[in-house]
Amino acid sequence: MPLKSLYNYYEHAETLPTHGDFKDRADLIDYEEHRKDLFLHKLSLHPRFFKDAELFEIGPDTGEKTMVYALWGANCHVVEPNRRAHPVLQDYFKRFELDSRLKSLDALDLKQYASSGKDTGRYDVAVAEGFIYTVRPARMWMEMFARILKDDGLLILFHCDKYGGFIELFYKLIHQRIMGLTGMDSLAAAEAVFQSKWDSIPHTRSFKAWVFDVLEDPFVRYAYFYDPVWLCRAMNTHGFRLYSAWPTYDDKSHVCWFKRPIPPEEMLAHQVDTIRRNRLSHMFGRKHTMVHQDKDVERRLKRLLLVSDSLIDTFDTERAEECLELMRWLKQLLENREMDAAPADTERAVSAMGSLIRILEFLQAGQASEAIAFCSENKAFIETWGMPSHFAIFHKPGANAACQS
């Protein structure tokens, strides 16, 4: 039976998807340092914004991030549909002496909460990290957040980007094909291909949780990922304005007289241009900014994503050939096109494409053990993760706002 929502998928899982298993305060403080850096330096939001803020969070899982908002002084109103996460979250708040900041914890999904019609104009800040792109129709959550936020409230989203998701789609393609060729089960195939890659960087979750959350998750697919161009436009239609994003969607080099209010449609045009020129930056997780938008490049990149995605379901050799052609074209584009990119980053992206091409050639030829050995040893493959996850903070301007920023 097809899954209705991401939380149905987690309900039957052995593990909780993002459980960090914090043992003591040092673990929490380490994590808080990382979140502080993210908010202060990448999202331009000072943690002091959260002091005594009424904060609504939906889908926190075990609540590591919620605890950080509580540490920063937020009153947390939490909705998490997966009841198995509740005791862990409650125990965390108790152990770290934050329970006075946990104002409520309800077991509802977004659709149930949205249709309750509760909490109009109640919150200073709302948070939905790691699942919102799986909820359909998007209009439902956009209208809900527009309703429950106060004027000048902020909405913090963590979503999956279509172009940034390329590398993850490719992992899924490799994983499926290796299972098909060798008969290995999912975890054994994942360990054979990805264990060296996984061990090369530190993580807060287990390898098994990553396999479940990325390689096996039916929602980690092109059809669910958002295009930030679409997201910014749709949010504008619902009355929101982009506050900040990581990677940035704003043209930081734009200059105009500080007293001139920038109309929302002009800001949106800058954001769309910045996003479109950074498709490759998002794909490779480093700066590869094109000087101009290029419709043909975007059309071919989109085709590459779609073909890679379709190979996850069925490994068809003709499709694999089309995928290889597009990958060779992309490698050449990186080598030849003038871009705002450090030479070392270009070299890394070119090597990454070279390694993905080699892997797909092995898979196309049915050479599973060669593909496994290559994935375990190839430096470029081991070092490339892409940028699947994007942060975006949206501002709900007041009804009488003169300058909607």
Ligand X SMILES: C[S@@+](CC[C@H](N)C(=O)[O-])C[C@H]1O[C@@H](n2cnc3c(N)ncnc32)[C@H](O)[C@@H]1O
What's the rounded Cα separation, in Å, for the pair 358 and 364? 10
124 binds ligand X (CB under 6 A): no
Name the token pair of 291: 């000087």
CB of 35 to ligand X, least distance (A): 11
Q: Which stretch in 70-78, 81-89, 162-170, 357-365 sits in contact with ligand X by CB under 6 A?
A: 81-89
Q: Which stretch in 78-86, 184-192, 239-247, 302-310 sits in contact with ligand X by CB under 6 A?
A: 78-86
Distances (CA, A) of 167 to 173, 283, 374: 10, 7, 16
Binding letters toward ligand X, positions 89-118, x by CB under 6 A: --------------------xx--------
DSSP assignment letter at 211: I
- Residue 404 backbone dihedrals phi, psi, to 5 degrees: -90, 100
Residue closer to ligand X by CB (options 135, 350) is: 135
For residue 23, the tally of other CB atoms under 10 A from its CB is: 9
18 binds ligand X (CB under 6 A): yes
Residue closer to ligand X by CB (options 219, 374) is: 219
Counted residue by residue, the chain has a size of: 405
Residue closer to ligand X by CB (options 82, 271) is: 82
Among 32, 124, 129, 309, binds ligand X (CB under 6 A): 129
Q: Assign 3-class secondary structure to 391-405.
A: EEEEECCCCCCCCCC
Binding letters toward ligand X, positions 37-76, x by CB under 6 A: ---------------------xxxx---x-----------
Helices 86-95, 64-71: inter-axial angle, 10-degree rounding: 30
**Best CA proximity match to 385, nearest among 282, 305, 290:** 282
Cβ distance 362 to 371 under 8 Å? yes
Cβ distance 157 to 128 under 8 Å? yes
82 binds ligand X (CB under 6 A): yes
285 binds ligand X (CB under 6 A): no
17 binds ligand X (CB under 6 A): yes
Among 158, 171, 240, 394, binds ligand X (CB under 6 A): 158
Name the token pair of 184: 């290995």
148 binds ligand X (CB under 6 A): no
135 binds ligand X (CB under 6 A): yes
Q: Which residues bind ligand X (CB under 6 A)?
A: 5-7, 10, 17-18, 58-61, 65, 80-82, 85, 109-110, 129-131, 135, 158
